Amino acid sequence: MQCVVPSRSLKAFGRAVHCCAKIGEEIYLEAQANQLLVRTVSLSRAAFACFSFAPQFFDKYRTMPIAGLAVNEQSLLKCKVLAKSCQHIFRSLTNIEKTVDHCDISLDLDESRLVFRLFCKHGITKTHYLRFSECDTLQAIYGTEHCVNQIACPGAVLNDSVVLFPVNLEEMTISVTDTELRLASYTEDLVDPKKVLHTEMVIQKDEFELFAIGLPADITFCLKEFKAILTFCDTLNEAMQIHFDNAGKPIILSVATDMFKAELVLATLLDPMNSSTTSSQQVPSSASQQQHFHPQSTPQHQSTPTIKSSPKHEYSSQQSASSHGPTSTGQLFGSGRSNDSQRPSHHTSSHMQVDHATTWVAPQPTPQQSPQRNHVAASGLLSSAFGSHHGADRMSPNIMPTLGSSIPPPATSSSLPRIGMQPVAVGGGGGADLAGEARAAAAAGVLPLPWTTIVRMTSMMMMTSILMLLRHLER
Amino acid sequence: MQQQQQDDAQPVPAFVARLANARRISVMLKSILLTDKNAVATVFILPGGIKFVAEDAKSMQANAFLQAAIFLQYTCPAELPPFKIHLEKLLDCLNIFSSGTAPAPAPTALKLTYCGPGSVLNLLLEEGGVFADCDLRTLEPDDILDFAFNSFGVHNKLIVKSEGMKGAFAELDTSSEFLEVVMSPDEPYLRLSTTGQAGQVNVDFPFDSFVIETFECFRPQCNRYRMSLIAPSIKGLAISTKTSMRMNARGFLSLQFMISNEDSQVSFVEYLCAPEDANEDSERDEESELSGTDSAHLLDGQPSYAHHEVSAPMEQ
């Protein structure tokens, strides 16, 4: 394979490489008979970019036959290289435009290297040898024909708007109606809206060359890749086409000229309304579980094996959503997880361990949610672990949930070893034995039953001693 | 301007120099400031000019020479014994009026005074009527390496315009550990290459390139140099107009940068770098060979060049 990129095309090629480097870690090159494909996919597989360059983009474009391959595969060359090293070659594009006459890209099969040879002025030659690796064709499955919404605009319109958003903003929402397009910063439910800068921008449909909205929609996607393609578009002064549907369907941004085509496909977040209903569902589920405690015991026991394993994970990313867990453990351990209480579902005060167990069980089958919720999960598991074993015996709401040092102590001591002491250590820094638990519980600010009796006894003793003293004084 | 007017106890200074713009010195000294925090430089005050020498890891030497001609006044009746000075502190003093890299609105006048061994180096700077009087302690000098570059045959040398070299060095992969320099009478004439994570980068200069002014190469030579030692020379390259690259028979590289200023006066900054040689025994032989030739500035009893250790410069 050999192609020569002339000076006039170097800017576009370099920009394409930069764009790919911002999106993914590796650049997949594929030389087909009628085009050169430069593709990349982000690590999370949420963004896919594909740049295809027509033969007229190059001064010379030749795909050499490779001995041993079938005739119809002869013109195919597939390899992937590190995006960073490719970007290093086209690092200073202004310099390249000024000094480089043309760039020769060829494949050195003997040494397994991809060779970029930049011929600069004054006869200086800069050669970059990049190691490549074999790969399969990278292709995302998408189509623009089915998209109900389509927008066309010069790259500058959106690029200038996006620049106004905070630099470290991760996700952005685009809401379209018949008359306008609204760009808004997207923050997850977890974060307190009052503590985050929220930016919104509205663009009227007149700014766009084409604004065909079939169905008003709100879509949320990653901003970093979006910015990358916008920069590409803007620096080359090309118009951009955007095709999208509704939330959950990918958004496709494309640029097309005679010489090259660029397409970026971004995955969009599922409708945010859906995710909030899942969490709110957990609240009623716990309430309902209270009444159905006994039937739940079976599933609890079924879940025991999983509970056992949970201590090993401790802060692992087991999901979800045991929204009530944190509240209870917050009370249990008295610290640390209090920040979880920001979540709205916490106020369903489940000081009943029963609830913890049941609510933990309920969310378990739900699909995994965002990893930010993992800290919630671990604590929920711990509390539920104890709850499942103490069960019906401890229905008294007056007793603050404990780590098992409450009635009946023998039962708890027998159950705890099965669970494992690590959770105790994890939560409140307690020891690995019953006494340690009591300490932990005490440290957490929870009074175990024996202590209250001791207090009572002590107070009674004091009272009797005072009475005796008084009698003595009377005499 | 004798110091005696101000302080009767002060002896007659052995050296006085006045410079219209302190920036010249500071720019040159910055280019030989190596990365070591406690960078010191040995100062040689000669009748012909001042020479600052800095070293790194006993494998690399950078020196800056300011000729007497660029000074407004240069009084140095006799060669003075060398002394050592903290380079970073000296630069701080020279840049006392300037803020960072912004060019000073008015030139800072400088007067250097030195009374002899043991005394301080006095700098008197003036900008816009504001004076700064700095006294820098001088230290006992260490023996500096004498690379004896010219003693061994210099087979290959070339003079190239710095703009060509700047582009070449910018292209090289600074994350690479070594820089390989190939000079040969046939292709590829002059090649600089680095091998980094991604692969290899080569920059080739043809001998008839416009940027190459002279190219004399009699023997093909290929040597590797540690990138960490070469990196400071990029600073000198950035401010220079012409570069001279020479390689001697032992593979030592000498990069000389010619810096010219508005008055079309020139100063030179030179970097000498020892090659990276896998064969340590041959280095020891060379070391003993070296000790035989010139006894004045040698490090006696140094077992090897210790290319692979970054040894701290010999302190007092």
pLDDT of residue B101: 61
pLDDT of residue A182: 92
- For residue A131, what are its two tokens? 């190691």
Report yes or no: B200 at the A interface, CB cutoff 8 Å.
Answer: yes
pLDDT of residue A432: 44
How many angstroms away from the CA of A77 is the closest CA of chain B? Answer: 20
Residues B238 and B299 in one domain: yes
pLDDT of residue B190: 87
Residues B57 and B94 in one domain: yes
Task: Kindly state whether residue B157 falls inside one of the protein's structural domains.
Answer: yes
| Torsion of Cα atoms, A303 then A308 then A309 then A312, to 10° | 150
What's the mean pLDDT in B194-200?
A: 82
Q: Are the Cβ atoms of B204 and A131 closer than 8 angstroms?
A: no
On the question of pLDDT at A82 being above 70, the answer is yes
Element (H, E) at A311: helix A293-313
Q: Are the Cβ atoms of A127 and B204 closer than 8 angstroms?
A: yes
| pLDDT-based confidence at residue A315 (cuts at 50, 70, 90) | very low
How many angstroms away from the CA of B308 is the closest CA of chain A? Answer: 27
Report yes or no: B176 at the A interface, CB cutoff 8 Å.
Answer: no
CA B18 to chain centre: 22
Task: Kindly state whether residue B142 falls inside one of the protein's structural domains.
Answer: no
On the question of pLDDT at A135 being above 90, the answer is no
| pLDDT-based confidence at residue A251 (cuts at 50, 70, 90) | very high
Angle (nearest 5°) at CA B146 between B142 and B151:
165
Task: Kindly state whether residue B62 falls inside one of the protein's structural domains.
Answer: yes
Highest mean pLDDT among A70-74, B224-228, B304-308: B224-228
Report yes or no: B265 at the A interface, CB cutoff 8 Å.
Answer: no
Range from A120-124, A282-286, B274-278 carrying the lowest mean pLDDT: A282-286
Q: Are the Cβ atoms of B171 and A130 closer than 8 angstroms?
A: no
Phi, psi of A469, deg, nearest 5: -65, -45
- For residue A170, what are its two tokens? 């991760």
| pLDDT-based confidence at residue A143 (cuts at 50, 70, 90) | confident
Range from A37-41, A142-146, B110-114 carrying the lowest mean pLDDT: A142-146
pLDDT of residue B278: 56
Report yes or no: A133 at the B interface, CB cutoff 8 Å.
Answer: no
At A7, which amino acid appears?
S
Residues B103 and B162 in one domain: no
Pairwise pLDDT comparison (B251 vs A386), residue with the higher score? B251
What's the mean pLDDT in B246-261?
A: 87
On the question of pLDDT at A372 being above 70, the answer is no
Query: Rg (Cα) of chain A, in Å, rounded?
Result: 32
Report yes or no: B192 at the A interface, CB cutoff 8 Å.
Answer: no
Non-local (6+) Cβ contacts of B63 within 8 A are: B32, B51, B52, B53, B54, B269, B270
| pLDDT-based confidence at residue A69 (cuts at 50, 70, 90) | low
pLDDT of residue B80: 86
Pairwise pLDDT comparison (A451 vs B119), residue with the higher score? B119
Residues B83 and B182 in one domain: no
Q: Are the Cβ atoms of A123 and B197 closer than 8 angstroms?
A: no
Residues of A in contact with B165 (CB under 8 A): none
Task: Kindly state whether residue B211 falls inside one of the protein's structural domains.
Answer: yes
Q: Are the Cβ atoms of A128 and B201 closer than 8 angstroms?
A: yes
- B183: CATH: 3.70.10.10
How many angstroms away from the CA of B201 is the closest CA of chain A? Answer: 4
| pLDDT-based confidence at residue B118 (cuts at 50, 70, 90) | confident
Of A85, A120, A126, the CB nearest to B197: A85
Going by C-alpha positions, the residue among B148, B155, B145, B147 that lies closest to residue B248 is B155
pLDDT of residue A65: 60
Residues B249 and B116 in one domain: no
What's the mean pLDDT in B13-36?
A: 84
Task: Kindly state whether residue B144 falls inside one of the protein's structural domains.
Answer: no
Task: Kindly state whether residue B310 falls inside one of the protein's structural domains.
Answer: yes
pLDDT of residue A19: 93
Best residue of A128, A131, A132 to probe chain B, by most B CBs closer than 10 Å? A128
How many angstroms away from the CA of B212 is the closest CA of chain A? Answer: 9
Domains of chain A, with CATH numbers?
2-134 (3.70.10.10), 149-269 (3.70.10.10)
Residues B64 and B190 in one domain: no
Question: What are the helix and strand counts (H, E) for chain A?
Answer: 14, 18
Q: Are the Cβ atoms of A126 and B171 closer than 8 angstroms?
A: yes
Residues B121 and B254 in one domain: no
CB pairs under 8 A between A and B: 62
Query: Number of folded domains in chain B?
Result: 2
| pLDDT-based confidence at residue A41 (cuts at 50, 70, 90) | very high
Residues of A in contact with B203 (CB under 8 A): 124-127
| Integer Cα distance of A171 and A260 in angstroms | 28
Which residue of chain A is at minimal alpha-carbon distance from B188? A125
Range from A76-80, A106-110, A261-265, B164-168 carrying the lowest mean pLDDT: A76-80
Report yes or no: B213 at the A interface, CB cutoff 8 Å.
Answer: no
Non-local (6+) Cβ contacts of A248 within 8 A are: A268, A269, A270, A271
**Percent with pLDDT over 90 in chain A:** 18
Non-local (6+) Cβ contacts of A190 within 8 A are: A342, A343, A370, A372, A373
Task: Kindly state whether residue B221 falls inside one of the protein's structural domains.
Answer: yes
Q: By the 8 A CB rule, do B162 and B241 touch?
A: yes
Of B164, B173, B199, the CB nearest to A124: B164
Count, residues in chain A: 475
Q: By the 8 A CB rule, do B108 and B18 touch?
A: no
On the question of pLDDT at A21 being above 90, the answer is yes
Highest mean pLDDT among A78-87, A391-400, B2-11: A78-87
Report yes or no: A125 at the B interface, CB cutoff 8 Å.
Answer: yes
On the question of pLDDT at A25 being above 80, the answer is yes
| Integer Cα distance of A169 and A159 in angstroms | 15
pLDDT of residue A40: 93
On the question of pLDDT at B279 being above 70, the answer is no
Report yes or no: B201 at the A interface, CB cutoff 8 Å.
Answer: yes
The sheet carrying B49-56 orders its strands as: B83-86, B40-46, B49-56, B60-67, B266-273, B253-260, B242-248, B154-161, B212-217
How many angstroms away from the CA of B83 is the closest CA of chain A? Answer: 43
What's the mean pLDDT in B98-119?
A: 79
Going by C-alpha positions, the residue among A299, A347, A294 that lies closest to residue A324 is A347
- Residues of the domain holding B6: 2-136
On the question of pLDDT at A382 being above 80, the answer is no
Within 10 angstroms of residue B174's Cβ, the number of other Cβ atoms is 14
pTM of the predicted structure, to 2 decimals:
0.63
Residues B112 and B27 in one domain: yes
What's the mean pLDDT in A214-240?
A: 90
Of B201, B202, B206, the CB nearest to A123: B206
Residues B157 and B115 in one domain: no
Within 10 angstroms of residue B158's Cβ, the number of other Cβ atoms is 20
pLDDT of residue A446: 52
Among B136, B163, B181, residue at a domain's last position: B136
Task: Kindly state whether residue B192 falls inside one of the protein's structural domains.
Answer: yes
Among B107, B136, B165, residue at a domain's last position: B136
| Integer Cα distance of B160 and B232 in angstroms | 19
| Torsion of Cα atoms, B26 then B32 then B36 then B37, to 10° | -10
- Distances in whole angstroms, Cα of residue A120 to Cα of each of A2, A98, A104, A237, B203: 19, 9, 11, 26, 10
Range from A155-164, A193-202, B1-10, B143-152 carrying the lowest mean pLDDT: B1-10
The sheet carrying B199-205 orders its strands as: A60-62, A2-6, A100-108, A113-120, A125-131, B199-205, B190-195, B178-183, B221-226
pLDDT of residue A394: 41
On the question of pLDDT at A20 being above 90, the answer is yes
Residues B130 and B156 in one domain: no
- For residue B20, what are its two tokens? 């219209």
| pLDDT-based confidence at residue A76 (cuts at 50, 70, 90) | low
pLDDT of residue A147: 86
Residues B222 and B153 in one domain: yes
| Integer Cα distance of A245 and A149 in angstroms | 6
- Distances in whole angstroms, Cα of residue A409 to Cα of each of A79, A333, A402, A434, A435: 66, 19, 11, 9, 11
Q: Are the Cβ atoms of B198 and A81 closer than 8 angstroms?
A: yes
Range from A343-347, B15-19, B42-46, B88-92 carrying the lowest mean pLDDT: A343-347
Residues of B in contact with A105 (CB under 8 A): none
Report yes or no: A205 at the B interface, CB cutoff 8 Å.
Answer: no
Residues B198 and B102 in one domain: no
* pLDDT tens-place string over residues B215-238: 888 888 889 998 888 888 888 888
What's the mean pLDDT in A440-468?
A: 73
**DSSP for residue A24:** -
Among B136, B167, B188, residue at a domain's last position: B136
